[in-house]
Amino acid sequence: MFLDLRCKRSKFIQKGSCENMINDIIQAAHEAGSILLATADSGMEITRKSNHELVTTADLLSEKYLKKRLLEIEPEAGFLGEESWDGDFPEPPFWIVDPLDGTNNYAHGYPVWTVSIAYWSGIEIEYGCVYDPGRNETFSASKGSGAWLNGRQVFSSGTEKISDCIFATGFPYHRKEDDLGLDLGVLKYFLGRVQGIRRGGSAALDLAYVACGRLDGFWEEHLKPWDMAAGYLLVKESGGEVSAYEGGKWTPAAGGVTASGKQIHSEMLKGIGQ
């Protein structure tokens, strides 16, 4: 059923030569979203990656589909996907894909999960798309062309005071009770200072929400490239600020991220570094 939806032009696209590349990426994200919705309805097998982290047949199906589909759009690119990663970065350019961000939510029926697709040139994320099938919201960006939500340009928050902010964060999977000191320290620091802190469980969606101003900021350590890559470009193109977790240039290997509206980024980093 998904083959019918494919862009017939895709195999002829040369990198950089087609302004419709982002539309092909959006279409691929929608197709993967359809696979995930259909699998949620029909049931799935769930296995554990670790104590806290699940993987479902839906993750695997979605990644298999996206790998094929994205390599048709850009055959010269490598592919870095959550479920098939061997731990090495491919030669750039490559796709960075989370076929299902928020797997634990998905497996429980908690309706906060997304598809995340990015394209890394080796120097910069050039395209990014985060698709939320539950709300039918598509966040997309091409480098230099702004951030968009369902075809409408969006901008990060202009909030100037941290006391007016709503932030989001996440807690890492690879945790033991005793390792949480630092994360809870940062949480505690912000809890006393902001209007609210949210934890939805999809880092890609949190970054997309920073890009459209629904959240003023987001911080999380111990993230993988696919959790952040598309959201990074969305925030950047929305006029926001995005860095590695403790500051400095973000790259797919940064291992964490701090993103926010422009005015409060340095104050966020201050809280993270305290």
Q: What angle do CA 240, 242, 245 make, to 5 degrees?
A: 150
228 neighbors 124 (Cβ within 8 angstroms): no
Query: Could you give the residue ranges of the DSSP H alpha helices within 43-102?
Result: 57-73
- Nearer to its own copies by C-beta: 11 or 135? 135
Tokens standing for 103? Answer: 């797997």
C-beta closer to its own copies: residue 32 or 208: 208
What is the rounded CA–CA span in Å between residue 239 and residue 216? 12
Within 8 A by CB and 6+ apart from 43, the residues are none
Nearer residue to its own copies within complex by CB, 144 or 181 = 181
Residue in 236, 226, 250, 233 with CA at minimum distance from that of residue 116: 226
How near is the Cβ of 149 to its own copies at its closest, in Å? 11
Q: What angle do CA 147, 115, 135 make, to 5 degrees?
A: 75
CB 188 to its own copies: min, Å:
6
In the complex with its own copies, which residue's Cβ is closer, 75 or 196? Answer: 196
Q: By CB under 8 A, name the binding residues for its own copies.
A: 51-52, 54, 104-105, 108-112, 134-135, 163, 166, 171, 175-177, 180, 184, 187-189, 191-201, 209, 212-216
Closest to its own copies by CB, 21 or 234: 234
What distance in Å separates the CA atoms of residue 186 and residue 62, rounded to the nearest whole number?
Answer: 34
Q: Rounded to the nearest whole angstrom, what is the least distance from the CB of residue 46 to its own copies in the complex?
A: 10
The distance between the two most distant Cα atoms of the chain, rounded to a whole number of Å, is 54
Cβ of residue 54: shortest distance to its own copies, in angstroms? 7
Cβ 269 to its own copies shortest distance, Å: 19
Query: What tokens does 38 get?
Result: 């259909």
CA distance linking residue 232 with residue 259, whole number of Å: 8
Comparing CB distances to its own copies, the nearer of 2 and 189 is: 189
Residue 201 Cβ vs its own copies, minimum distance, rounded to whole Å: 6
